[in-house]
Structure 1
Amino acid sequence: MKLRLLTLAAMFAALCAIGAFVKIPVGIGSAALDTVPALVSAAFLPPVYAGAASLIGHLSSSLYAGFPLGPLHLLIGAEMFIILFIFTKLHQAGLHIWKWIFFIFANSVIATLPFYWIISPAFFVAVLPGITIATILNAGIAMIVSPVVVRVMDRVKTHA
């Protein structure tokens, strides 16, 4: 069972890294579709593994963009880990509407809030709309893809 979880986590982390290549032109270089696979992974992985996939996805995305915020991407990666950890817990609790509301609010507003003080209020106001658009796009794609992937995995289990 542990090997299966590690394999799935590695697969979702790799998909997050691939999603990092699909950039979203919202003004900040590291906005990408790197979170979609991590959101989908909440249906299959424990919270720590889903959070790790998200952290790897963000670090891959920021690496491809040249780390525009420097070491602050480690903070963002940690935030992504925590957000996906809680998202997965909400999914496991059956709070399917609340998990999406939480993700969109946490990833767009709460995750960017520290930069109000770390960089400047102007930076926070400038990046908030773009991050919100990227977050809604990631969530929307994951909302569409997740049920399909879950059905496919259920079919694979019944036929295996």
Structure 2
Amino acid sequence: MSGKRASILAMFIALAVVGALIKIPAIVGSVALDAFPALVAAVLLGSRSGALIAGFGHLLSALIVGLPLGPLHLLVAAEMATLVWLFATLYEVNKRKWAVGTFFVGNAFAAPLPFLFMLGTGFYVALVPALVVGSVLNLGLAIVLIPRLSTIFEKKGLASS
């Protein structure tokens, strides 16, 4: 990995930290705007880079609020990494509506399903509205920024090949 690429990756991780500080009111404090830098990076730098940023972004968001779900946040970080990787994979093959829809449904409804069984229906029902809002905001920011940043990244030769 080149120094330039490592610096850009670090910049996106830093953006995920800033996004992690912008919280969506929820029953757990880890719902935040930490995913949009990962979604942008996944398209611009590649799906693996985006997945790495998504996992770190969620863990940092959870750490900021004291890890309310304890080690279960590792599961959520893995889910976020997988969803961002899938988003980038679909986006790359011009299935952009599928990419957006898959991330939205996956993040808002499918990712919290393990908690339905572990912590009960009340937790799931209370968490989903915040995840819907968070998913819409993260996706909205990413969809607005990706085309604008992709031209810059292509001109500078920074985009993934």
TM-score after normalising by structure 2:
0.90
Cα distance in 2, alignment partners of residues 153 and 84 from structure 1:
19
Q: Output aligned runs, 1:79-94, within 5 Å.
A: 79-94=79-94
2:35 aligns with 35
Preserved CA contact (<8 Å) 2:55 2:81: yes
**What are the ranges of 5 or more consecutive residues in structure 1 without an aligned counterpart?**
none
Per-residue CA deviation, residues 8-29 of structure 1 (Å, 9 max, x unaligned), is 3222122111211111223431
Q: CA deviation at 1:129?
A: 1.1
Q: CA deviation at 1:53?
A: 0.4
Preserved CA contact (<8 Å) 1:33 1:138: yes
What number of residue pairs does the alignment pair up? 156
Please tell me the residue identity of whatever aligns with 1:21: L
Secondary structure of the residue aligned to 1:26 is: coil
Give structure 1 regions of 4+ aligned residues with deviation exceeding 6 angstroms: none
Please tell me the residue identity of whatever aligns with 1:128: V
Q: CA deviation at 1:155?
A: 3.6
RMSD: 1.4
Q: Output aligned runs, 1:18-57, within 5 Å.
A: 18-57=18-57
1:138 aligns with 138
Cα distance in 2, alignment partners of residues 7 and 95 from structure 1:
29
Pair 1:107 & 2:107 matched: yes
Preserved CA contact (<8 Å) 1:47 1:85: yes
Q: Output aligned runs, 1:2-17, within 5 Å.
A: 2-3=1-2, 4-17=4-17
Preserved CA contact (<8 Å) 1:26 1:134: no
1:62 aligns with 62
Secondary structure of the residue aligned to 1:94 is: coil
Q: Which is further off, 107-116 or 18-27?
A: 18-27
Identity %: 36
**What are the ranges of 5 or more consecutive residues in structure 2 without an aligned counterpart?**
none
2:147 aligns with 147
